[in-house]
Chain A
Amino acid sequence: MTRYLNLYWYFLIQRLKVLMEYRLSFILGASSTIVWQASSIAAVWIVMQKVPSLNGWNYDEVLLVYGLVTLSKSINHMFADNLWTLGRIYIRSGGFDRFLVRPIDPLFHLLADRFCQDGVGNFLVGLALVIKSSVDLGIDWTPSKLLVLIVGIVSGGFIFIALNLITCVSAFWIVDSVPVTRLVFDNHLFAQYPLSIYPKAIGILLTWVIPYGFASFYPASYVLGRDVGNIAWFGPFVAAFLLFIGYRFWQFGLKYYSGTGT
């Protein structure tokens, strides 16, 4: 474990050296995500100036939900972005075979190979939204609320990573896994708003099938004192279960991988 932590640190330093060679691209990459988020948030702000309630949630409460899912997403974006490019960049070119002959876990190698700077923008936006909204809402922080919030963000991040892992394994068969990953990943957009604004079926989908709801709606509901029951605490179990499935599926795919002949 310590060996892998040291290795990760080493990979990260190398990656930052590369990024510092292209400082302008680094800054633009990180700020591009900020511009995108700012567009959506500006729209919500404008609308909620006119109508202060989204199905009983006020502007700051909506921002809390939005900020939480953005933070979870940024964990995935910074540390696991390579799951997107497994097929396009590593398998197609044959570069993935390089990982297989090295004495470290290939999945670890894939993830550590590229820290994605664009995720920093998402992280800053998410953090700013969560702080801004919880200050304006005057949330009375108890230890259990704080715990649910942090556990929610971290397990949300792992749910993002696990779902991308499960879908990216398809690259071992179809090479380009991006369409499959997108198909699942884009559902996180639902979780930018309280799940209660959608029909029941979408709520069930985002809780039990593609469970991004645990990244935002459930922790936010708990922190805001809206009763959602014990489900507020389910996040870590859901994340652990999905990671387990994801890793097993990854190993299964790896067994069938035979390279593209490049």
Chain B
Amino acid sequence: MIRTARRNLSVYSAILAMIPKQFMAYQLWFWISLVLSVISMAILVYFWRAIYANTSTISGLAQNQTINYILLAFIFMPLTSNDLIWEFGSNLREGTIIHHLLRPINFQGMNYAQMLGGLLTRLILQIPMAVVAVFIFGLRFPTDLSTWLAFLVSALLGFTVMFFFNWFLACFTFYTTEIWGLGVLVDGMTFFLSGALVPLVMMPEWIRNIVLSIPFAQALAVPVSLLTGITPLSDAPLVWFIQVLWILGMWIISTLFFRVAVRKITVQGG
């Protein structure tokens, strides 16, 4: 029992550690994307400052609260990553999915470890951007430890929700074998539906209801609202509970769909 657990841990952590190395190959991109992020953040900040020019609160949020939310959502955007869809697609196109399915480890577990490794790397790579946000755009991180804990739990849960949701979406590629269109479409929708552009409380009720009945916001708006204090800390257990329900639901749906879809597998070569 303990031996299997240790074996599993070392297998999955080895997979996790592989991802940062791949990322480091792109050093020039690292610096350039830092500048690109500064441009994006500048636009967001000045847009919101202009909006707040003649009003002190919007839907109960003060200017610094909103800008904090927007900047933190921008920094924690990797939580909504849909790399899994692309990974699935390339596995399918190159036929390597066959080898993965034959390996004596859980295919879903392997992918989860990979995606978690990708998330941690991306978040570490966001640190320079966060520093810029603090010094240029006046971002304030909370200093309260329990707020951070509440956020971290919620972020991990939200990331897991998205993992199973992406798993569900990726299963469609077994039928369509077309990945690019699905990927960019989901990318474009995530931007808005995750709550990265507008705090959920500002949305008209019908839009907020739509956003909360699909998974994207669970990974970004929900944890970041806890971090910025828009959602009070006392609500954290309720937030976690809802996220756990999301995980269960998404896990069941995606696993069932995968079982059916994998029989349709059509490898395009490899």
Contacts and interface: CB of A to CB of B under 8 A. Distances in A.
Contact of A179 (B29, B50, B51): B29
Nearest to B207: A46
Interface in A22-62: 24-25, 28-29, 31-32, 35-36, 38-40, 42-43, 46-51, 53-55
Nearest to A53: B54
Contacts of B29: 179
B55 A190 contact: no
A29 B181 contact: yes
A133 interface: no
A190 B41 CA distance: 11
B202 A46 contact: yes
Contacts, number: 96
A193 B47 contact: yes
A111 interface: no
B238 interface: no
B59 A50 contact: yes
A55 B50 contact: yes
Contacts of A36: 187-188, 191
Interface in B55-93: 55, 58-59
A47 B42 CA distance: 18
Contacts of A182: 32, 36
Nearest to A174: B28
- Interface of chain A: mostly helix, strand, loop or mixed: helix
A9 interface: no
A5 interface: no
Interface residues of B, number: 36
Contact of B188 (A39, A48, A53): A39
B1 interface: no
A54 B55 CA distance: 11
A51 B192 contact: no
B181 to A, nearest CB: 3
A48 B48 CA distance: 11
B47 A197 contact: yes
B39 A54 contact: no
Given A46-B202, A47-B51, A47-B202, A187 B188 contact: no
Contact of A46 (B39, B178, B180, B198): B198
Interface string B199-241: 0001110010000000000000000000000000000000000
A189 B39 CA distance: 8
Interface string A181-222: 011001101101100011100100000000000000000000
Interface centre among A28, A39, A189, A199 (most CB of B within 10 A): A39
Contacts of B55: 51
Contact of A54 (B47, B192, B197): B47
Nearest to A179: B32
A32 B185 contact: yes
A193 B54 CA distance: 18
A54 B181 contact: no
A25 B36 contact: no
Interface string A223-238: 0000000000000000
B36 A28 contact: no
A202 B189 CA distance: 29
A183 B35 CA distance: 7
Contacts of A193: 43, 46-47, 50
Given A32-B185, A46-B198, 6 more contacts: A46-B207, A48-B51, A51-B51, A179-B32, A190-B42, A197-B47
11 contacts: A24-B178, A28-B178, A28-B180, A31-B185, A35-B189, A36-B188, A36-B191, A38-B188, A50-B59, A51-B51, A197-B47
Interface of A: 24-25, 28-29, 31-32, 35-36, 38-40, 42-43, 46-51, 53-55, 179, 182-183, 186-187, 189-190, 192-193, 197-199, 202
Q: Which 9 A-B pairs have the closest CB atoms?
A: A28-B181, A35-B188, A39-B192, A43-B197, A197-B50, A32-B184, A55-B50, A36-B188, A179-B32
